[in-house]
Amino acid sequence: MEELKQRIRKDGQVLEGNILKLDAFMNHQVDPRLMRKLGEEFARRFAPLKPNKILTAEISGIAPALETGQALEIPVVFARKARLVTMPKKVFERHVPSPTRGAETLLVVSPEFLGPGDRVIVLDDFLASGQTLNALANMVVEAKASLLAFGVVIEKTFESGRAALEEWSVPLESLAVIEKMTPKQIVFK
């Protein structure tokens, strides 16, 4: 998506540890116009699969997932980063490393919102190592739902996340693919 690439070039900052800071439009401040366009593009790509749910991770995956859900007219479920007292005792739970936090992050989904019969697209802001998407996909399987595809706003090919997801044998759609990045340059595929 050319508009997304232009925005990454304009507002993205490459930090130490191959972290791409996109706080100006996606990870801290959200550009709703751009998120709507991302959601419409994901919806165009995923509509033929006939999903009935989108699963994402709190917090940065919510904006693009919500816009995709809006375009497809289906619910969005997000994995919380904390277990709430309002949740049932048995939940779907995974621990994943978070490069931006520098520690493990807990992901929790209530079985009230993910279960048998659900046809799920797993969507997130970034694909780097693939660990978050793998954790979400494993929750889909644990819920006895069907995993239809993965969607990511930005894929960093140099971190091998795509290979980590191959075992799922489902489509993976990326709206922008970065082959290489340095503090002075971002190279798209």
- Whether the pLDDT of residue 88 is over 90: the answer is no
Q: Cα-flanking dihedrals φ and ψ of residue 3, to 5°? A: -60, -40
User: Can you give the length of the chain in residues?
Assistant: 189
Question: What local confidence, expressed as pLDDT, does residue 100 receive?
Answer: 66
Strands 146-156 and 76-79, by their bridges, are unpaired
- In sequence order, which ranges of 12-130 are alpha helices (DSSP H)? 32-46, 62-72
For 30-60, the pLDDT digits (tens) are 999 999 999 999 999 999 999 999 999 998 9
What is the C-alpha separation between 6 and 8, in angstroms, rounded? 5
Are 40 and 69 spatial neighbours (Cβ–Cβ below 8 Å)? no
Are 95 and 106 spatial neighbours (Cβ–Cβ below 8 Å)? yes
Whole-number average pLDDT of the chain: 95
pTM of full prediction above 0.75: yes
Are 122 and 135 spatial neighbours (Cβ–Cβ below 8 Å)? no
- Which tops the pLDDT comparison, 67 or 103? 67
Listed residue (39, 55, 35) closest to 149, CA to CA: 55
Most trustworthy range by pLDDT among 51-55, 87-91, 104-108 = 51-55
- Which tops the pLDDT comparison, 60 or 149? 149
Placement of tokens 């978070």 in the chain: 98
- Whether the pLDDT of residue 66 is over 80: the answer is yes
- Whether the pLDDT of residue 126 is over 70: the answer is yes
Question: What local confidence, expressed as pLDDT, does residue 28 receive?
Answer: 93
pLDDT category of residue 97 using cuts at 50, 70 and 90: confident
**Domains (ranges, CATH) in the chain?**
2-188 (3.40.50.2020)
Nearest-5° angle of CA 116, CA 109, CA 111?
35
pLDDT category of residue 82 using cuts at 50, 70 and 90: confident
Q: Which residues are within 8 A (CB) of 87 and not within 5 positions of it... i.e. 6 or more apart?
A: 108, 110
What is the C-alpha separation between 93 and 38, in angstroms, rounded? 28
pLDDT average, residue stretch 133-153: 98
pLDDT average, residue stretch 127-153: 97
